[in-house]
A and B are shown apart, each in its own frame.
Chain A
Amino acid sequence: MTLAFIGHAESTGALRDVYDRMLARPLPPVYRPKHGGAPGIITAHSLDPELIPKVFGTSSTLNGAGPLAWHERELVNALTSRLNQCFY
């Protein structure tokens, strides 16, 4: 950890509400972490709770929609991460 972040279990108030709303969204089970809380990539945005629905609202328009097929979207996302050397 290089910047502070607040996980789901430790969250309170507006941040807790946002995490709960994020978890209530329809999501393929494969993307749900086994710990049952908000995924780490959402908690990475915890220092700005109001930003979270903006960022992940954009995700819904791209990762939950076509025209690219699911496996093609995963290819784009995985390859982008590899190039950015992001191994989260």
Chain B
Amino acid sequence: MVHGAIAELGVHARDARQRALIELTVAVTVAPWTLSRAFRARANADGLTDDDLLHAIALSAYFGHLNRIADAVGVPLDYPVEIAAPHADPSRSPFEAAPEQLAADGALALDRRPTTRDALAAWQIYLAGKPGPLAPDERRAIAHRVARLAGDGTAEPTDALDADIRALVDLVALAPWRLDDVAYRPLRARGFDDVKLFDVCIAASTAGVTARIAVASRALAR
């Protein structure tokens, strides 16, 4: 899956270190559970230390949030570009949901990067304690749904999530390029305003950051 994505992109690495960085980024974004101890050993041999790997994992997971929110809001380009940006292809298949769930044991932990760990924790604590417009339980159910989609076995399986909310959450997690007015229509018809829709998107997107880091760092250690 990862090599297919790299071939499709047509990116060419200039050396082994850069190739490992590209493979890692693709895996974190598309299928973090596919990483392995063998990949880590190879990347280490190619010059990427464990701290480099963790930095790239957290960066890619974090940027995935910015991508999702930019698409969820549809914010217009406000900087000059030298090469015209391509258009997203809405027909491209969603990312795959994780076929397995990874337990927490033996992770290459974010404790090696305490400033990032603490900043992410402050972000999550803010969202968990936010009084509205979503109920805290709804936000938690969204986070667990997204974590399971990424293969985070420490999240509870959630069947309780409202079907319309779940449909939007799954788009945020697996096909953010399909976020448009049509995607919001079912919840808007039920009275969700933009602040509440944003709350759904932000709960889903935030959970994707922490789940990707957790699953990628666990996968590298097994």
A80–B78 Cα distance when bound, in Å, is 20
Residues of B within 8 A of A68 (CB): 21, 52, 55-56, 59
Instruction: For B11, give the chain A residue with the smallest CB separation.
Output: A79
Q: Which of B11, B58, B122, B176 contacts A62 (CB 8 A)?
A: B58
The reply to whether B25 and A76 form a contact with Cβ atoms under 8 Å apart is yes
One of B60-68, B139-147, B156-164 contacting the partner? B60-68
A47–B177 Cα distance when bound, in Å, is 20
B15–chain A nearest beta-carbon distance, Å = 12
Residues of B within 8 A of A54 (CB): 119, 122-123, 126
The reply to whether B119 and A57 form a contact with Cβ atoms under 8 Å apart is yes
For chain A, the count of residues having a C-beta within 8 Å of the partner chain is 46
Instruction: For B18, give the chain A residue with the smallest CB separation.
Output: A75
Residues of A within 8 A of B197 (CB): 3
The verdict on A80 contacting B75 (CB below 8 Å), with A62-B55, A68-B56, A87-B85 known, is no
Say yes or no for A14: interface residue by CB 8 A criterion: no
A58–chain B nearest beta-carbon distance, Å = 4
The reply to whether A2 and B73 form a contact with Cβ atoms under 8 Å apart is yes
Quick one: which of A33-53 are within 8 Å of B by CB? 33-35, 39-41, 43-45, 47-48, 50-51
Say yes or no for B194: interface residue by CB 8 A criterion: yes
The reply to whether B176 and A79 form a contact with Cβ atoms under 8 Å apart is no
Q: Chain B interface residue count: which class?
A: 35 or more
The verdict on A76 contacting B122 (CB below 8 Å), with A2-B179, A86-B177 known, is no
A17–B178 Cα distance when bound, in Å, is 33
Quick one: which of B170-208 are within 8 Å of A by CB? 176-177, 179-181, 183-184, 194-195, 197-199, 201-202
One of B35-43, B86-94, B97-105 contacting the partner? B86-94
B79–chain A nearest beta-carbon distance, Å = 5
Instruction: For A60, give the chain B residue with the smallest CB separation.
Output: B119
A39–B88 Cα distance when bound, in Å, is 21
The reply to whether A84 and B64 form a contact with Cβ atoms under 8 Å apart is yes
Say yes or no for A1: interface residue by CB 8 A criterion: yes
The reply to whether B55 and A66 form a contact with Cβ atoms under 8 Å apart is yes
Q: Which of A40, A57, A65, A87 contacts B78 (CB 8 A)?
A: A40
The reply to whether B67 and A86 form a contact with Cβ atoms under 8 Å apart is yes
Interface residues of A (CB under 8 A from B): 1-5, 33-35, 39-41, 43-45, 47-48, 50-51, 54-55, 57-63, 65-68, 72-73, 75-77, 79-88
Known: A79-B26, A79-B29. 11 other contacts (CB 8 A): A3-B197, A5-B73, A5-B75, A40-B78, A50-B130, A58-B116, A58-B120, A63-B59, A80-B29, A83-B30, A85-B177
